Structure 1
Amino acid sequence: MTREARQEVLERHGLVESGDGFTVTLKGFQRAARRARDLRAQGNEEAARMVALSPDHPLRWEFARCLQIEAFSNEMSDTGF
């Protein structure tokens, strides 16, 4: 996978990569919120707790970041990178 293709995958998942790791963007937070609601509907208790927090709560943003990193990692694995 080229650097440009990897960057596209990062953007699709709403992540920015820096020397300190990944940061979730507003777009990534919104995607993660939809995913968390789906997980909550499936009975995931952690997702239910996170969705119950206010949108500006730091733990909710961290949960969103983790969800998006997981989605990014899964897509990268699927492409063999």
Structure 2
Amino acid sequence: MTREARQEALERHGLVESGDGFTVTLKGFQKAAERARGLRAQGNQEAALMLALEPSDPVRWEYARCLQIDTFSTEAYESGF
């Protein structure tokens, strides 16, 4: 994965990278909510609990950030970056 491809993947997953780590964007939050709904449908209790929280809850945002970091990391690993 080239640096350009890495940046595109970050944007695709709704993440911004800084010296402190990753921050999830609104786009990333929305994508994470979609993923969490799929996980909830598969019986994932953690996803169900997180979706029950208000969208403004910082814990829900942190869960979304973790979901998006996971999907980005998987893509980066599979590409050999």
By the TM > 0.5 criterion, same fold? yes
Q: How far 1:55 moved relative to its partner?
A: 0.3
Structure 1 residues 48-69: Cα deviation after superposition (integer angstroms, max 9, x where no partner)? 0000000000000000000000
Number of residue pairs matched by the alignment: 81
Q: Which has the higher contact order (CA 8 A, sep 6+)?
A: 2
| Paired letter, 2:3 | R
Secondary structure in 2 aligned to 1:56? coil
Q: Report what 2:16 is aligned to.
A: 16
Structure 1 portions without partners, runs of 5+: none
Q: Report what 1:50 is aligned to.
A: 50
Q: How far 1:78 moved relative to its partner?
A: 1.0
Secondary structure in 2 aligned to 1:55? coil
Task: Return the TM-score normalized by structure 1.
Answer: 0.98
Q: Report what 1:34 is aligned to.
A: 34
Distance 2:43 2:26 in 1: 25
4+ aligned runs moved over 4 Å, structure 1: none
Distance 1:79 1:4 in 2: 13
Task: Return the TM-score normalized by structure 2.
Answer: 0.98
